[in-house]
Amino acid sequence: MKKTILSALLVSVTLVAGDAASVYKSGLMLPANGEVIYKKQCATCHGDNGEKSAFKGSGAITGMDTATLAKELKDYRYGSVNKYGYGAQMKSVLVDLSWDEIDAVSAYVNSLK
Ligand code: HEC
């Protein structure tokens, strides 16, 4: 029993002390890291610098205004925006992100060039 508690404790200490980039997972009590979230959750479709068109018709998102982007992402999260008919893809990505994480990733996209 003591051993189990001790190893559980060790695991949590390792998680908290580890590099935020390597242990990032939505829901852990770590400060939201926009860059890590972007690379993990957005880059496959939007490109490393937001330059890629996610599909024919959508544009680059590089450098988008932080507040505008955060609002749009929250709307996608709730399914209340569907610009080109593929909003469900965005919703499925955003549904696991918190408000803090959406704000952080928006600021990161804004910083992209
Ligand atoms: C599975 C692929 C995929 C992933 C991953 C993804 N997106 Fe998208 N994104 C899309 C598609 C498809 C659209 C077009 C949705 C529509 O029809 O409105 C879109 C639209 C957008 C738009 C609106 C673009 C425009 O031209 O108006 C923004 C901004 C955006 N995504 C940002 C993000 C961010 C930030 C992330 C990461 C949190 C992300 N996306 C993750 C596929 C993806």
Domain boundaries in the chain?
31-111
Dist. CA 67 → ligand 1 center (Å): 16
One digit per residue, the tens of pLDDT, for the chain of length 113 reads 666 665 665 555 544 444 444 445 555 667 889 999 999 999 999 999 999 988 777 789 999 999 999 999 999 999 999 998 999 999 999 998 999 999 999 999 999 99
Question: How far, in Å, CA of 19 to CA of 21, rounded?
Answer: 5
Q: How far is 89 from 63, CA to CA, in rounded Å? A: 21
Q: Which residues line ligand 1 (CB under 6 A)?
A: 41-42, 44-46, 54-55, 58-59, 61, 69, 72-73, 82-87, 89-90, 93-94, 105, 109
**Ligand 1: distance of its center to the CA of 23 in Å?**
24
Predicted model pTM: 0.81
Give me 42's structure tokens. 């957005």
The three-state secondary structure class of 85 is coil
Q: Which CATH number fits domain 31-111: 3.30.1330.40, 3.30.1600.10, 1.10.760.10, 1.20.1090.10?
A: 1.10.760.10
